[in-house]
């Protein structure tokens, strides 16, 4: 009888899988296949464009092409700021294979500390890894050769040709022009003006470069290059051309600027020359100065330390930021107030070296004897203006000072203009929570005490008075170059008193301007007299410490008074005004001598130009044919014409 395995062994050894487990295993397999299919679909269909772009990014690199900034010219088209070709070195973090080995090589080849490279990498660590990071700007030919020779060992290095700023030497017009620099993370975080910029972008940081940055900087372009797996460039795909920035023509006259620079050389202070008819700034100097070329690449620590440690603050544009007591230049504003209020016409004082007010004696520099409004200006008699200030009161003085632009910004198109101070009862109550005392008004009458002003404010105020009460808004860029919308935006960013007119009767105008002309003829600035030129102005000697304290000191340089002068030609409706601040220059007539150099240069140039124009406009007689054998006769040359607009 045949037996089966079951019967033979007595046991059924066939293992059967439970139906539930079989179904579960099938579901798992189906789910895994489904997930794989969905993943493949996402990769190949949904993510196709994205991964294609990533693959292209690994093969194609977009290299920025920086737009050259617009050049800057003077009013006659002579170049002041240019660009020069430069090569900079960048690093690609994604290409760094062994930082411990490669960074020391880079530091040695580029002659920079390795700590500087590490600091730069840390600064840009939040940026995309494929973005080139600048590690050294304006590299030398030797450093460029190092990069080219180590392409294989250091694929993370690449060079880029750029245009960089070339400023005049020796800090010429540095405060007016300004400088460019990289956008820092702090600027991005704290200043809305840089919201659309990225770290490392080069922007204007001061002066004209900052105010007109959007005009000067242009639009950057880019180049698409093909790279291999090692990051080495193997071809080009195309490029987007950079759009250069717009050139700008300034109101500055280089000839006058040079004279002003020489006049203030070795001194501390500022000079402003302006056309009162238009508000155009013809020259602007501030001393000490700085070298903007140091800022246009990467500022060295040693140079920055020297700037910061200089007690005379080289970065301060003293023409618009030095807030100092104006001294006796303020007496012109006092004269306007006294005459317009009817307080000065018949006022006469007997100056015996000073006068007493409210129990205190206020000194004068001399015993002037009998003084009225006609000789008070050329003599600069303190006693007269003490008395006038006491008659007018502080609030009347403040009202007239504000009317000619003191205590408010002029609105000049340069960054960080300061306001100055015009004291009043309300001002003291608001700032010091105290009452104004009548005795405090006496010192204000001679431009001392709490009153402060800037050179640009005084230039505009006194030239406006000499122009019959017409004050123009100062500006440093010639009009008509920029579209109206940009111009309006700039005006809104630099609020000030703008163009305005004050009330000044013809009789009072004549009295004041004649008095200012007498200052340079027989008065306190007689040493600066210019023969044959209608040169008017007002000196100012502003103490930095009181007479008693000065007598107790060793009379060191820093204790000497600040020397002011504001001068113009001609005396009425002037064509130029020059304000000079010479810090610790001792006497106002010292500053008057500096101003006279600029006035003389201006008049000489205008006369030459006027002569050339008149000669060119003179019709020449038609040449007559010479008789046979006769000698040719020279053409008639008009005699040299002498303009009279600047003469007495």
Q: Kindly indicate whether the domain formed by 254-304+317-607 is annotated with CATH number 3.40.710.10.
A: yes
Peptide bond into 570 cis (omega under 30): yes
188 or 648, greater pLDDT: 188
Query: Tell me, what DSSP letter sits at residue 134?
Result: E
404 with 468: CB under 8 angstroms?
no
Report the sign of the C-alpha dihedral through residues 387, 392, 396, 402, in that order. negative
What is the SS3 assignment for 384?
A: helix
User: In this predicted structure, what is the pLDDT of residue 619?
Assistant: 56
Distance CA 269, CA 560 (A): 14
pLDDT in tens, 474-522: 999 999 999 888 888 888 888 888 899 999 999 999 999 999 999 999 9
Angle, in degrees to the nearest 10, between helices 588-617 and 254-264: 160
Give the DSSP H or E segment for 443: helix 439-444
158 with 223: CB under 8 angstroms?
no
Phi and psi, residue 483, nearest 5°: -65, 150
User: In this predicted structure, what is the pLDDT of residue 61?
Assistant: 67
Burial class (CB in 10 A: 0-12, 13-18, 19+), 214: middle
Query: Tell me, what DSSP letter sits at residue 44?
Result: I
What is the SS3 assignment for 90?
A: strand
End-to-end CA distance of the chain: 156
Q: What is the band of 639 on the pLDDT scale with cuts at 50, 70, 90?
A: very low
* Alpha-helical runs (H) found in 410-546: 425-432, 439-444, 455-466, 484-493, 506-521
Rounded to 5°, angle at Cα 565 from 560 and 566: 155
User: In this predicted structure, what is the pLDDT of residue 439?
Assistant: 95
454 with 462: CB under 8 angstroms?
no
Q: C-alpha distances in angstroms, 492 versus 211, 279, 413, 471, 555?
A: 12, 17, 10, 19, 46
Delimit the domains of the chain by residue range: 61-249, 254-304+317-607
Distance CA 5, CA 259 (A): 124
3-state secondary structure string across 226-240: EECCCCCEEEEEEEE
pLDDT in tens, 287-341: 999 999 888 766 777 888 888 889 999 999 999 999 999 999 999 999 999 999 9
Taking the domain 61-249, which CATH number applies?
3.90.1310.10
User: In this predicted structure, what is the pLDDT of residue 646?
Assistant: 53
277 with 472: CB under 8 angstroms?
yes
Nearest to 136 by CA among 164, 112, 172: 112
Look at strands 248-249 and 72-73 and give their pairing: parallel
Residue count of the chain, please give it. 648
- Give the mean model confidence (pLDDT) for residues 107-133: 83
Distance CA 520, CA 2 (A): 148
Nearest to 387 by CA among 441, 337, 345, 333: 441
Look at strands 72-73 and 280-287 and give their pairing: unpaired
Query: Tell me, what DSSP letter sits at residue 250?
Result: B
Q: What is the band of 635 on the pLDDT scale with cuts at 50, 70, 90?
A: very low
pLDDT in tens, 334-348: 999 999 999 999 999
Q: What is the band of 265 on the pLDDT scale with cuts at 50, 70, 90?
A: very high
Task: Indicate yes or no: pTM above 0.85.
Answer: no
Strand partners, 159: 89
In the structure encoding, which two tokens stand for residue 100, read together? 């411990």
Distance CA 251, CA 55 (A): 53
469 with 502: CB under 8 angstroms?
yes
466 with 577: CB under 8 angstroms?
yes
Give the DSSP H or E segment for 550: helix 547-552
* Alpha-helical runs (H) found in 17-79: 19-41, 48-59
In the structure encoding, which two tokens stand for residue 456, read together? 């640009």
User: In this predicted structure, what is the pLDDT of residue 358?
Assistant: 95
Distance CA 424, CA 435 (A): 10
Burial class (CB in 10 A: 0-12, 13-18, 19+), 329: buried
Phi and psi, residue 26, nearest 5°: -65, -40
467 with 455: CB under 8 angstroms?
no
Phi and psi, residue 155, nearest 5°: -65, -15
Distance CA 506, CA 504 (A): 7
User: In this predicted structure, what is the pLDDT of residue 234?
Assistant: 64
pLDDT in tens, 448-464: 999 999 999 999 999 99
Mean pLDDT score of the chain, rounded to an integer?
Answer: 85
* Alpha-helical runs (H) found in 587-633: 588-617
Q: Is the model's pLDDT at 391 over the cut of 80? A: yes
User: In this predicted structure, what is the pLDDT of residue 642?
Assistant: 35
In the structure encoding, which two tokens stand for residue 319, read together? 């023409």
pLDDT in tens, 68-86: 899 999 999 999 999 998 8
Look at strands 221-227 and 60-65 and give their pairing: antiparallel
């Amino acid at each position: 009888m045949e037996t089966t395995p079951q019967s033979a062994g007595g046991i059924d050894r066939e293992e059967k899988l439970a139906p539930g487990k079989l179904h579960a295993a099938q579901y798992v397999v189906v789910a895994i296949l489904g997930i794989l299919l969905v993943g493949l679909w996402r990769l190949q269909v949904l993510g196709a464009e994205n991964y294609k772009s990533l693959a292209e990014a690994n093969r194609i690199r977009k290299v920025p092409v920086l737009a050259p900034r617009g050049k800057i010219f003077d009013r006659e088209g002579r170049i002041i700021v240019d660009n020069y070709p430069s090569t900079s070195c960048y690093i690609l973090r994604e290409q760094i294979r062994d930082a411990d080995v490669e960074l020391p090589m880079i530091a040695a080849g580029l002659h920079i500390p390795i700590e500087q490279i590490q600091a730069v990498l840390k600064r840009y660590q939040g940026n995309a890894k494929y973005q080139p990071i600048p590690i050294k700007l304006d590299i030398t030919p030797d450093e460029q050769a190092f990069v080219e020779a180590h392409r294989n060992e250091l694929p993370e290095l690449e060079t880029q040709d750029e245009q960089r700023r070339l400023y005049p030497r020796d800090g010429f017009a540095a405060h007016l022009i300004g400088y460019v620099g990289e956008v820092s993370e702090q600027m991005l975080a704290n200043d809305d003006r840089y919201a659309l910029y990225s770290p490392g972008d080069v922007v204007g940081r001061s002066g004209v470069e900052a105010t007109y940055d959007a005009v000067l900087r242009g639009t950057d372009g880019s180049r698409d290059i093909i790279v291999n797996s090692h990051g080495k460039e193997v071809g080009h795909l195309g490029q987007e051309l950079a759009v250069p920035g717009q050139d700008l023509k300034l109101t500055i006259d280089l000839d006058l600027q040079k004279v002003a620079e020489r006049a203030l050389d070795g001194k501390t202070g500022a000079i402003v020359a302006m056309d009162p008819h238009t508000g155009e700034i013809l020259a602007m100097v501030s001393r000490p100065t700085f070298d903007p070329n140091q800022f246009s690449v990467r500022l060295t620590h040693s140079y920055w330390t020297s700037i910061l440690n200089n007690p005379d603050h080289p970065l301060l544009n003293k023409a618009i930021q030095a807030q100092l007591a104006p001294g006796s230049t303020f007496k012109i504003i006092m004269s306007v107030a006294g005459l317009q209020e009817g307080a000065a016409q018949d006022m006469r004082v007997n100056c015996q070296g000073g006068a007493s007010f409210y129990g205190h004696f206020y000194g004068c520099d001399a015993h002037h004897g009998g003084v009225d409004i006609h000789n008070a200006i050329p003599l600069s008699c303190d006693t007269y203006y003490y008395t006038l200030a006491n008659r007018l009161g502080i609030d009347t003085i403040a009202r007239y000072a504000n009317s000619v632009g003191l205590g408010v910004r002029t609105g000049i198109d340069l960054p960080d203009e300061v306001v100055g101070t015009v004291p009043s009862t309300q001002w003291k109550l608001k700032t010091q929570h105290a009452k104004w005392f009548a005795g405090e008004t006496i010192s204000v009458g001679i431009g001392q005490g709490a009153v402060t002003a800037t050179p640009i404010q005084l230039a505009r105020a006194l030239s406006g008075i000499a122009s019959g009460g017409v004050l123009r808004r100062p500006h440093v860029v010639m009009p008509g170059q920029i579209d109206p919308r940009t111009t309006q935006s700039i005006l809104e960013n630099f609020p000030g008193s703008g163009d305005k007119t004050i009330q000044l009767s013809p009789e009072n105008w004549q009295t004041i301007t004649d008095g200012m002309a007498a200052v340079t003829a027989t008065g306190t600035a007689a040493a600066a007299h210019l023969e044959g030129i209608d040169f008017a102005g007002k000196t100012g000697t502003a103490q930095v410490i009181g007479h008693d304290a000065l007598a107790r000191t060793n009379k060191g340089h820093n204790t000497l008074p600040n020397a002011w002068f504001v001068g113009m030609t001609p005396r009425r409706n002037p064509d130029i005004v020059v304000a000079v601040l010479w810090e610790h220059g001792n006497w106002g007539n010292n500053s008057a001598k500096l101003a006279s150099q600029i006035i003389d240069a201006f008049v000489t140039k205008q006369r030459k130009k006027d002569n050339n124009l008149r000669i060119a406009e003179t019709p020449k007689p038609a040449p007559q044919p010479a008789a046979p054998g006769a000698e040719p006769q020279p053409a008639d040359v008009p005699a040299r014409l002498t303009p009279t607009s600047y003469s007495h």
